[in-house]
Chain A
Amino acid sequence: DAGITQSPRHKVTETGTPVTLRCHQTENHRYMYWYRQDPGHGLRLIHYSYGVKDTDKGEVSDGYSVSRSKTEDFLLTLESATSSQTSVYFCAISESDAQLNTEAFFGQGTRLTVV
């Protein structure tokens, strides 16, 4: 398995509180991604990074921010959590971008519940 660790694996938080999810990789891959998975919606891209300090938005980026200060770590922050952000969050990594047809490896996921 690719060396991807997501933390925490489970979290329950209250509406309005800030939450940070961490993705750590040991593969030295350039690209890192955050997806959310919801019933009926599949996997939707939140943000991605193509290098240290280089990030871009995905299709569902509102309410989320990211940071990548080191190659191995990609943080996803919910500045003020809302119930609509209750979801399972997956981090993924790849050596290069999708156009170069490289495999994306996924972490085990973080189940976040906002009450």
Chain B
Amino acid sequence: GENVEQHPSTLSVQEGDSAVIKCTYSDSASNYFPWYKQELGKGPQLIIDIRSNVGEKKDQRIAVTLNKTAKHFSLHITETQPEDSAVYFCAASYSGYSTLTFGKGTMLLVSP
């Protein structure tokens, strides 16, 4: 089945710095790559997604890039703020199950 690797597992930055989280996937048929943010005590919530026919997508301070050839995609957060502190999950759709396979998560800590 699909395998999604996510790095790093923890990331600490200073407020105002940029943060980058990277994921790789194994199934070349995967075509949908969402990113979820999970705040403490809550369920994950979609923050941005990208489809395989697009190389980059931006939404204010958040951007996602996709390299289909290398089978990796990344989340970029600019001008980080303390409220960005959370666990971030990448995911990929797996053609066999028609469900999402998640990475193991990245705990982002933004210090004031």
Contacts and interface: CB of A to CB of B under 8 A. Distances in A.
Per DSSP, chain B at the interface is strand
> Most A CB atoms within 10 A — which of B42, B51, B100?
B100
Interface string A31-44: 00101000011111
B104 A98 contact: no
Contact of A108 (B6, B34, B43, B95): B43
Interface string B64-102: 000000000000000000000000010001110111111
Contacts of B42: 108-109
A19 interface: no
Contact of B99 (A58, A103, A107): A58
The range of chain B's interface size is 20 to 34
A58 B97 CA distance: 8
A50 B98 CA distance: 10
A98 B33 CA distance: 10
A71 B21 CA distance: 36
Interface of B: 1, 6, 31-32, 34, 36, 41-46, 49, 51, 89, 93-95, 97-105
The 6 closest A-B pairs by CB, nearest first: A106-B43, A98-B93, A97-B98, A42-B104, A43-B102, A101-B32
Interface of A: 4, 33, 35, 40-45, 48, 50, 56, 58-59, 90, 92, 97-99, 101, 103-109
